[in-house]
Structure 1
Amino acid sequence: MLKARKILLSLTLVLASGISLSNASAAVPTVEEQQIRTANEAVAEWKDWVNDHAYKLTSIQRTTDFDDLEMLKPLLHDKRMVFLGESSHGVAEFSLAKTRLIQFLHQEMDFNVLAFESGLGNIMDAYGNIDQQSAEQTMKEAIFGVWWTKETLPLFDYIKASQTTDQPLSLVGFDMQLQGMFTNGDWLQNKQLAKQFLTVEEQLVDWSSSEDIEGYRQAKPKLITVYTDVKSQVKQQEQVLKAAYPNEPHIVKLMERTLAQRIHVAEEYIELNIQSNIELKQNNPTTFYKTMEWRDQAMVENLLWLANDVYPNEKFIVWAHNDHIRKAHSEVMGTPYPVKMMGELLPEAKKKSSYVLGLYMGSGESVSNARDVLPVLPVKRGSMEDILAAANAPYTFIDMRYRQNERGNSWMFEPRLSYSWGLIEESFVPQEQYDGILLIDKATQPTYIK
């Protein structure tokens, strides 16, 4: 199997090289020329098939007309979780398209929980007061700054407006990364402990960027003691917490979970992160990979806990980067993070009851997490984006979950080239990673909100 994949990948690379047949021998073609000719014929068949079978979305703007999304109902009717990915965090159209998909899934298919790739506690804190503040404030307190854009804000307008209906869209986070303070500690009714809590929150962030591993080992017990003391107050202050977070009915569970995770982060993750900081200066990514896998293990555990213990009777929409939701990320060739990530770590039963949608871009430009402009590289012939672009539509959706390998769609069952972030060349079997793909023909920069 591995040998066959290598051969297929080799053919894909030959195809992408742009070698012309114009110089081929008129008499007997060489083996390489015949391979190129065969590959070109295959691409033509694939593109014809996509043109016949792809769904073309009419809009990515919020709307009450969902006729172009009706085809999703038979695909998702029995799914508990729908994962909405993105190949870059910095694309305006990704946020717009996902917001519209969320609106459709919520209104038309009763998906009532939106789980975001942001802090478990931070979203708890913001959502707990959603009625008392603007949608923009909720967005900024809830999610990472990479999504503080005018294109994401309509989602938070929608979430806020839904709270006054008989079907509110609940917002939760599942990430463990340090994202700033997740509570001010006023509910503790103990000024000294609240001050200690604020101090250790700041110290934990500082230590995460440190290279002083021995210094951290000495400081760690005190940090853990403070978090443990705060956690011990949660149930005692249940009524105060409920008053402080009136929109979060699960505040006690979420606060305990967040504090337990902070203790776990202090016990293990920060030390790993410090070691990673040291090694990366030596061009050694070994421990950095361990921090990535540690994070995704924590994220999948949080997501499963939310689905099983907090919202056991609700259907979930999950917003995250493609890397986190792919079903077999560690098998992707060329990825900067060759580890098992959240989607791959999901139990098989959960994978069967989920649908994983990857979002990609065919041209234009995106923005890095540091807000550097990243031009999307020209697609290579025979790549996944090149094949899907044959639909000649601004927004092209293709389902792969329910396809059998046949002439015309064999591209989704073979290694294909694709771009992460619009510029990192990867190779993977599309159908093994995603259930569906949404290709945005042209990506543009988001408009950031300060």
Structure 2
Amino acid sequence: MTNDTTDTTRTESTDQPTTATVRAALRAHAHEVGTRGPTADFPPGSLPDALDDASIVALGEGTHGTREFFRLKHRLLRWLVTEVGVRTFAMEANAPEARLLDEYVTHGRGDPKAGLEGLYFWTWQTEAVLSLVEWLRTFNEGRPLADRVRFRGFDAQYTQGAVDALREHFGDGLPPTVANDLELVADDGTRPMQDDRVGERIDAAERVTPCVRELDDTDERVLRWLRTIEQATTYKQRLLDWQSGADDSDAERAAMEAVIRVRDRAMAENVAWIEGRTDGPVVLWAHDAHANRDRHSVRGSGAAAASMGSHLADRYGDDYYTVGFAFAGGSFQAIDRTGAGRGLRSFTLNEPLPGTVERVLDDTGVGTAMVDLRAGAVDSRLGDWLLRPRERFSLGATYDGEPDGYLTAYRFAEAFDALCFVPETTRARPLG
């Protein structure tokens, strides 16, 4: 899950007015897809041809709490599964914990709601995501195993799922000291900042991973579970380094950039591992901050480092295709940072902010559409405009009700291959 992943820096943005020519060009490259639900077909010619050829398609989101984003991503996934032959779907969720949902969609075992709860984040515990999971199960039922869509995770923030998997694998075969250290490594999905024993867990992880590797260094599953522990432990350590404070703003920014760097690099590594063991394309579900090809910026800190998408674009080139998601106005859910509490609730953005990409797209009069940015980048009317930094509204898990503080500048021709635009949104519906 992305937390506070927008950058308020505005110095890079251009002050040049948007011309009628630019608006007309955007309208020409914006292919309306309609507002029907995830089962609807796409109008002929509305999806870029490059979607058919990509090895990895990343479906982003401008917020973690927008129902229309989730339903449109579901619709795109259905098309990629049924028309392109995608058989692997991976979410911004802890990799070992995703095993429960893979068991459900592949074999029908388990409870999908419990599987979503097991990913720890409220962001995925919504009716729209559950509907997607249930559709995957329906699609898979009765198909040969090799023709079923698999459910994967590619994040590595927590150790609990990896520890559970290792215990299940080894049973009573672990030496007592190793078993005790694994017990300590298990974090129960607790965020490092709320974990009083995080330092002890880091030390235990550094002791236990080489010991377990000596017990079994041939089983690929064991090696991946250990890798998750290593990745999560490094992430926790960088968070502690940042939390411990810095003498000046430059040092604090550098510490936050280290946090971004290790997590996004780990996610890219895990995606590449998944792709290398997949026959056919892979579809990813992540926040725009991770999925974009350029950088992951952190709101209010000035910190920025290479995003997951940047690493994947370096590795796969044009075979990595990333779709951003933006909206003009409407509701979304987020954790409240207004001071009234930190509970999950609905917020509303009444209209797009002046000077943003959303404002320009809204002014074109386009409906729900996919804007082909690859095609736009080589259009003489639009290419230069897309290469200049343009602000957009975006947030991760939290929001304080002040939209001006949630603007991120992207060079859209470099950051995304396409942009899904939704004029009006509603809050994602939490599971009851």
TM-score range, shorter chain: 0.7 to 0.9
The answer for the alignment partner of 1:90 in structure 2 is 65
Counterpart among 44, 47, 50 of residue 20 in structure 2: 44
Verify the 8 A CA contact 2:322 2:416 in the aligned structure 1: yes
1:142 Cα deviation (Å)? Answer: 4.2
1:432 CA displacement: 1.3
Matching residue's letter, 1:170: R
Q: Give the Cα separation in 1 of the matches to 2:192 and 2:286.
A: 26
Q: Post-superposition shift, 1:408?
A: 5.3
The structure carrying a bigger strand percent of its residues is 2
Q: Distance in 1 between matches of 2:327 and 2:155?
A: 25
Larger Rg: 1 or 2? 1
Aligned to 1:383: 356
Q: 397, 411, 418: which one pairs with 1:436?
A: 418
Q: Displacement, 1:399?
A: 0.1
Over aligned residue pairs, what C-alpha RMSD do you find?
A: 3.3
User: Structure 2: how far apart are the matches of 1:407 and 1:440?
Assistant: 23
Which residue, out of 345, 352, 365, partners 1:392? 365
**Alpha-carbon distance between aligned partners in 2 of 1:407 and 1:280, rounded to the nearest angstrom:** 46
Corresponding residue number in structure 2 for 1:135: 112
Verify the 8 A CA contact 2:260 2:296 in the aligned structure 1.
Answer: no
2:284: which partner in 1?
318
Q: Does 1:257 align with 2:224?
A: yes
Shift of residue 234 of structure 1? Answer: 5.5
Q: Counterpart in 1 of 2:168?
A: 186
Residue 120 (1) aligns with residue 77 (2): no
Kept in 1: contact 2:298–2:304 (CA 8 A): yes
Distance in 1 separating the partners of 2:181 and 2:315: 43
CA contact (8 A) 1:115 1:317 kept: yes
For the 8 Å contact 1:209–1:273, the answer to whether it is kept is: no
Asked if 2 retains the 8 angstrom alpha-carbon contact of 1:398 and 1:437, the reply is yes
Selected match of 1:402 from 359, 375, 393: 375
Deviations 1:29-88, CA, capped at 9 Å, x for gaps: xxxxxxxxxx3xx4322223333442111235121x424265326222221111111111
1:57 to 29, 33, 53: 33
Number of aligned residues:
395
Q: Distance in 1 between matches of 2:326 and 2:210?
A: 43
Q: Distance in 2 between matches of 1:67 and 1:219?
A: 49
Following TM superposition, by how much is the alpha carbon of 1:330 offset from its aligned partner in structure 2, in angstroms?
5.9
284, 293, 308: which one aligns with 2:261: 293
Asked if the contact 1:329/1:338 (under 8 Å) is kept, the reply is: yes
CA deviations 1:220-267 (Å, max 9, x no partner) are: 44433334444555579xxxxxxxxxxxxxxx534421222313543x
Post-superposition offset of 1:294: 0.8
Q: Residue 9 of structure 1 is aligned with which of 1, 13, 25?
A: 13
Q: Identity over the aligned pairs, expressed in percent? A: 18
Residues in 1 aligned to 2:13 and 2:191: alpha-carbon distance in whole angstroms:
44
Q: 2:242 aligns with which of 276, 284, 295?
A: 276
Using the TM superposition, name which of 379-388 and 74-83 deviates more. Answer: 379-388
What CA distance in whole angstroms lies between the structure 2 residues aligned with 1:78 and 1:58?
Answer: 24
For 2:302 and 2:350, locate their aligned partners in 1 and report how far apart those are by CA, in whole Å.
17
- Aligned with 2:153: secondary structure? strand
Distance of 2:181 and 2:148 partners within structure 1: 36
1:340 and 2:313 equivalent? Answer: no
Q: Given residue 391 of structure 2, which amino acid in structure 1 is its aligned partner?
A: L
Match of 1:32 in 2: none
Q: State the SS of the aligned residue for 2:79.
A: helix
Give distance in 2, aligned partners of 1:413 and 1:107: 34
- Structure 1 position 104, deviation (Å): 0.6
CA distance in 2, matches of 1:307, 1:197: 29
Q: Which one scores higher on RCO, CA 8 angstroms, separation ≥ 6? A: 2
